[in-house]
Every structure is written in structure tokens, then in C-alpha cells.
Amino acid sequence: MTERSRITLLIGATALSVLLVALASRLPAPAPLVAGIGVVPLALLLMLWRRCAPVTPPPPSVAAPPPATTHEYDPAWTSAVLAEYPGAVLICRSAQHRVVGANPAAAALAGRHAVEAGTPLSQILPPEPVLRALSGLGVGEAAGFVSATLDGGTMLRAKLRLFDGFYVLTLSPVDNDGQGATTRRRQALRDLRRPLANLRAAAETVAAFPDMNSQERAAFDQVVGEECLVLSHALERLEHEIDPPAPPAQGTDLHTQDLFNCLARRLAAERIRLNMVGIPLWLHGDGQALLESLGTMTRLLARDSGQAEFDFEALLADRRIYLDLAWKGEPIPAAMVDLWLDQGAGDGVDSLREVLERHDCEPWSQRGPGDMAVLRVPLPPPLRPQFMAGDRERQPRPEVHDLDLLERHLHPGTLRGDKLSDLAYVGFDCETTGLRPDQGDRMVQIGAVRVEHGKVQSGSGFERLIDPGRPIPAASTLYHGIDDHMVRGKPPLAVVLPQFATFTRDSVLVGHNVAFDLMFLDAAQGESGVALRQPVLDTMILAALIDPGYDLSLEAVAGRLGVPSLPHRSALSDALMTAEILARLLPLLDAKGLRNLDQVSRASLDWLTAGGGT
């Protein structure tokens, strides 16, 4: 019953009650009875009033929100996201950089049959571009970057969006499709020029020699007919290609390791070998156009220098990033380099000059160190800072100065009189569960990289995760970022150490604060059956021989020598820094009169004996 009906009923019942009381008062009855007769309708009215009151539904109860969950653990949400994106997509945990979901398109781009949940992202993409994109990114924000696949087969354009506890990566191949229509139109226009030029020449010749004999005239008529047919086909192709121009490719920050991986893979099929040396840097540019241009220049360099092997190195300049291609031999004359620039850049229509001018770049060739020559390509620096804060703070290890241990390893062996510059080295580093191998601490990762002819061979590194057979303490995980989940199912040290021994064969081992690593390598001999007997050098001690009295931590020594500090801490990144430090110390040691391994080993032991490490 509505409120209006209830009020009408109340008025009617009151009137009835008054009428009944008036009638009852005329009857010969006592007063209480008369009053009761009038009250009965009112009592009935009140009961009816309550029963007919409109039912107001109770306010909806507000249930307590469910406990906050992270979408990465919700299979339904993951499936919805994967279905929403039409292209290749990966969903990864922010903390561990592990895949929790991927669609088949992502697996195809990664060159895998499938990408399983729990797969480390570092097995799909190089970590540096991803970590750089994440650096400084807030929840809900997105960043784009370009990266190569691990095998260097494909250059990928990626967009990363950060959520609470995870991030979504969308991937697409970087190719010439965006500029394909423009490229084809320009090629079609060029196809018109040759037949038109031939037709014009034929017409001018016929006009200039009206008295030519019938045989000569027939030859010209044949040329005109053939060129008209070529011209007709070219016009048909141009007609098919007329469409709105594609937008120009936009530049982005590129990691030189990605450029190298793709370039080396392409050139290997043509029996041209590239060696990545030095520490990779960031630059800014059109990734696909630079890849095509560098490929063309390397092929021309191989043709005109007669060489088939080149070092590829990125160097910091004042306001540019130098990409150097170095080889044994003479520099290329400036006039020849200028002729190269008129060549087409790869499969595109643009010439090398046009691509490089868009990057404000003019390459040149010069003499390098020793008998080396260099082709130098100066390119723009990255838009974002070259060196950014790492994903975890680099706390220096405690220095270890075990004289007995180092006396066993700091020896020249059979390389006593060999010049330092002629030796092959392996810079290496270990990550561990703790600091005391005598109390059960074990290695969890080992990384290494070669140094040959004074150059860090960063394109051929060695990196292995190791199952230590015991839990990794949280304090150690904070230091190096490796947890129990990451090493689960990885090979034990008994498998990894023989592989490391093969990688380091016939080389001098080099570490920073190397006594720490040697403690763990020596402790592992019984388990692995591998005893490393080659000579060892310590860049911490070598730096002290050059600059006594300065901070000898890895970061401090790298800073003094101008070695970039890699943001992502790992055994391989520390090995890279150590190797680059050694490469820059070698000429300084030579200038100090320490020119062979015997002299350096003796000087190192003298420094230790004199208490240099205390």
C-alpha cells in the first residue's frame, strides 16, 4: 500500500470512529462502553497501518573487499589480457623478471615453440633494454624501446606497461614494412628513368641522322619497342604502389649489443665475422635503418680492405657515441668512404648518405692502435641517461688478502717472459650464498669474458647459474638478486666448473679482489675434480700498483679509468667491468715498466707482502 492510500484510510477510520461515538452517546449505555465503541476502529486502524506500511529494503551490505591479489597469480586475468592484445605479448613479474603468461605470437617472435610460465625473461630478450625501460617507471606508466632477440635474428619494437607487481610487454618485429610503400614507389620511379633516358637517346639519334640505312634504323626501332615495353611495366608497378605515404620511422634508444647481435648474424652468412669488444652502450636512432646501413658499410669495408674479420666497439665521445669497426690493415681513403655513401642502404631506396645525414653522422677512417685501422661512425647519444641507477645497490665485498692463497695463484707459470699485450685473459666473477666457503657457502653464479689483443670480447661471454644444493640467504639475494627459485633445476657446480675450465683454457684468469673467488674455486676442487692451475691476476692489486692510496673497490677503479658501470648486477656484468679495467690498465702497466707476466706477478706479491692490502 502506498503512503497516499494509508493517509486516506486514516482519515476515513477517524471519521467512522467519531460517527460511532456520536451514535453510541444517544444509546442508553454507560460512558465507558460508549468510549470503547469509538476506540475499537482506531485500534483496528493502527494494526492495519502497521501491516500496510511499505517495506523498505535494507541497505545493501557492503562486503569487505577481498584481500589484495596480484594479477600475475590470476590465470583468468592473465588469459583475458593475452586475448585482448592482437600481437605478441608477455606478462612478467617485476621482482624476478619471470614470465607468467605469453601468447603463441610471443613464442614465435622469441624463436621458441612455447614460452612456459616461470621462464626467465633473460632467456627470451636481452635484460638491458627491459631494465632500462623499467628504471624510473611508475605504476600505470609505459615506455617503448627496441631490442633484438637473443639469437640476433630479429629486431623487435617493444612497449612495456608497469602494473603493481608485474608488467606487460607487447612485441612486434621492426622491419621495413612501415616504409615499404614509400620505398616501392621510389623504386618504381627510378625504374622509369632508364627506359625514358634510352628512348630519348634513340629519338635524338634518329633525328640527328635522318639518312641512316634500313638496318641501322631497324636496330633503333627495336630499342624503342623494348624500352616502351619496359616503361609500360614500370608504369603498371607504379600504379599499384600509389597509396598514402607511410609515416617516417621514429628513432629510439638502442643498445649496441642488440645492433651487434643482428648485424653479426646477417654477416656470418656472407663469411664476414664481427667480434663485439668493449662494454655495450646506448645510442639513439632508427634501428632498422642503422642496421641496414652498418651492414652495407661492413660489406664495402670487407671488399675494399680485403679483410673478413672486424672488431665492433662502442665508445663514449663528448657528445656522440662512436661505433668503431676495426681491422688489421690500412685506413680507407676519405674519397673512397665518400663514394660508399652513395650506395643504397641495404634493401631500401635510401642511400647511406641519406640515412646517416638523418642521424647527423659523417663517418671517417683513421689509424688505430698498433697495426689496426678504424672506420668510425659517430651517432647521437641516447635520450635517456646513458648510465642509470642499478636495480640494486652495489655493495663492495670485503677485501680478502690471503697471502698463502694468492702465492699459489699469482705466478707466471710457463708464460713468464710473455708480454702482457700478447696474452689472452679471462675476466671472471662469482656470486655466492655467503662469504665463508669453509662454513658451507657455495657458488650460485659464475660469469666470464675473454680479453684478446687488449680488447674485451664482450660478444662471447660465459654465464651460468648454479644450484648450490642449499638455501640462499635473503641477505645474499639482496646483494646479487639470485633466489632459490632462480637456481632450482640448474646444473650443480660439478657440471658447471668443467665448462668454465674449458672456457678459460690457455688464458690468464683475472678477477677483482680475486682472492674471494679463488677461495670458492679451491673449495670446489673436491666436488668437481677441476683444479685451475693457470696464472691469475688481480685488477684490485694492479690498480694499486698504478694509483697507490686510492679507493680500490670495483666501482671506484672503474670510475677512475672511465669504465662504464653496468646497471644490472650479475657475475657477467662484474666480469665485463673487470675485463675492461684490465684492458685499460695494460698500457699503464707497460708505461710503468711492468711489461711481462713475471714482472707483474712479482710486483703483486711484493705489494701484498708489504701490507698493501691492510
SS3 419: strand
> Which range among 84-98, 119-133, 193-207, 319-333 shows the weakest confidence by mean pLDDT?
193-207
Encode 454-466: b = buried (16+ Cβ within 10 Å), e = exposed: bbbbbbebbbbbb
SS3 144: strand
Q: What angle do CA 360, 287, 357 make, to 5 degrees?
A: 20
Question: What angle separates helix 571-591 from helix 539-546, to the nearest 10 degrees?
Answer: 30
For cell 614470465, what's the residue? 99
- 340 or 229: which leads in pLDDT: 340
Residue 145 belongs to what H/E stretch?
strand 142-148
> Which range among 19-28, 79-88, 453-462, 472-481 shows the weakest confidence by mean pLDDT?
19-28
Instruction: Collect all residues with Cβ–Cβ distance below 8 Å to 545 and sequence separation of at least 6.
Output: 589, 592, 594, 603, 604, 607
Residue-wise DSSP of 232-296: HHHHHHHHHH-SPPPPPPPPEEEEHHHHHHHHHHHHHTTT-EEEEES---EEEE-HHHHHHHHHH
Sheet of 321-328: strand order equals 273-277, 309-316, 321-328, 372-379, 364-367
- In the DSSP assignment, the letter for residue 438 is G
Question: What angle separates helix 256-268 from helix 287-305, to the nearest 10 degrees?
Answer: 50
Q: Which class for 10: exposed (0-12), middle (13-18), buried (19 or more C-beta within 10 A)?
A: middle
> What is the predicted pLDDT for the residue at 178?
47
Say whether pLDDT at 506 is over 90.
no
> What is the predicted pLDDT for the residue at 71?
43
Helices (H), 451-513: 474-480, 484-487, 493-503
Residue 211 belongs to what H/E stretch?
none
Give CB contacts under 8 A, 24+ apart, made by 238-242.
238/185, 238/188, 238/189, 238/191, 238/192, 241/181, 241/184, 241/185, 241/188, 242/185
CA distance 226 to 230: 6
Instruction: Collect all residues with Cβ–Cβ distance below 8 Å to 300 and sequence separation of at least 6.
Output: 340, 343
| Most confident among 2-6, 162-166, 373-377 (mean pLDDT) | 373-377
> What is the predicted pLDDT for the residue at 47?
61
- In the DSSP assignment, the letter for residue 68 is P
Mean pLDDT calculated for residue range 379-387: 83
Instruction: Collect all residues with Cβ–Cβ distance below 8 Å to 259 and sequence separation of at least 6.
Output: 148, 287, 290, 291, 294, 323
For cell 444509546, what's the residue? 27
Say whether pLDDT at 264 is over 70.
yes
Mean pLDDT calculated for residue range 226-240: 73
> What is the predicted pLDDT for the residue at 26?
61
CA distance 122 to 170: 16
pLDDT interval class at 538 (50, 70, 90): very high
Give Cα 298 distance to the centre of its chain: 24
CA distance 223 to 476: 80
> What is the predicted pLDDT for the residue at 239?
62
CA distance 305 to 297: 12
pLDDT in tens, 40-51: 555 555 565 555
Distances (CA, A) of 99 to 36, 91, 136, 324, 553: 85, 6, 21, 36, 35
> What is the predicted pLDDT for the residue at 222?
81
Q: What cell does 80 get?
A: 583475458
> What is the predicted pLDDT for the residue at 43?
59
Q: Give the residue from 508, 529, 536, 505 showing the smallest Cα distance to 451.
A: 508
Amino acid found at 291: L
pLDDT in tens, 507-534: 999 999 999 999 999 888 877 788 888 8
Say whether pLDDT at 14 is over 90.
no
Give CB contacts under 8 A, 24+ apart, made by 466-470.
466/442, 466/490, 466/491, 466/492, 466/493, 466/496, 467/491, 467/492, 468/433, 468/442, 468/443, 468/444, 468/493, 469/442, 470/433, 470/440, 470/442
CA distance 554 to 463: 19
pLDDT in tens, 431-454: 999 988 888 899 999 999 999 988
> What is the predicted pLDDT for the residue at 327?
94
Amino acid found at 341: L
Q: How many CA atoms lie within 13 A of 614 on its CB side?
A: 6
pLDDT in tens, 579-599: 999 999 999 999 999 999 999
Taking all residues of the chain, what is their mean pLDDT, rounded to a whole number? 81
Q: Give the residue from 399, 466, 456 showing the smallest Cα distance to 432.
A: 466
Mean pLDDT calculated for residue range 89-101: 88
Instruction: Collect all residues with Cβ–Cβ distance below 8 Å to 103 and sequence separation of at least 6.
Output: 82, 85, 88, 89
Helices (H), 99-176: 104-109, 127-134
Residue 156 · residue 146 · CB < 8 Å:
yes
Say whether pLDDT at 16 is over 70.
no
Helices (H), 506-553: 514-523, 525-528, 539-546
> What is the predicted pLDDT for the residue at 65?
38
> Between the CA atoms of 529, 535, 539 and 544, what dihedral angle is there, to the nearest 10 degrees?
130
- 430 or 203: which leads in pLDDT: 430
> What is the predicted pLDDT for the residue at 340?
93
Q: Give the residue from 508, 581, 502, 584 showing the smallest Cα distance to 540.
A: 581
Helices (H), 524-563: 525-528, 539-546, 554-561
pLDDT interval class at 371 (50, 70, 90): confident
> What is the predicted pLDDT for the residue at 68?
38
pLDDT interval class at 60 (50, 70, 90): very low
> Which range among 108-122, 180-194, 277-291 shows the weakest confidence by mean pLDDT?
180-194
> Between the CA atoms of 66, 67, 72 and 76, what dihedral angle is there, to the nearest 10 degrees?
-20
pLDDT in tens, 161-220: 998 888 999 988 876 444 555 566 666 667 777 777 777 777 777 777 778 788 877 877
pLDDT interval class at 106 (50, 70, 90): confident
pLDDT interval class at 152 (50, 70, 90): confident
Give Cα 26 distance to the centre of its chain: 106
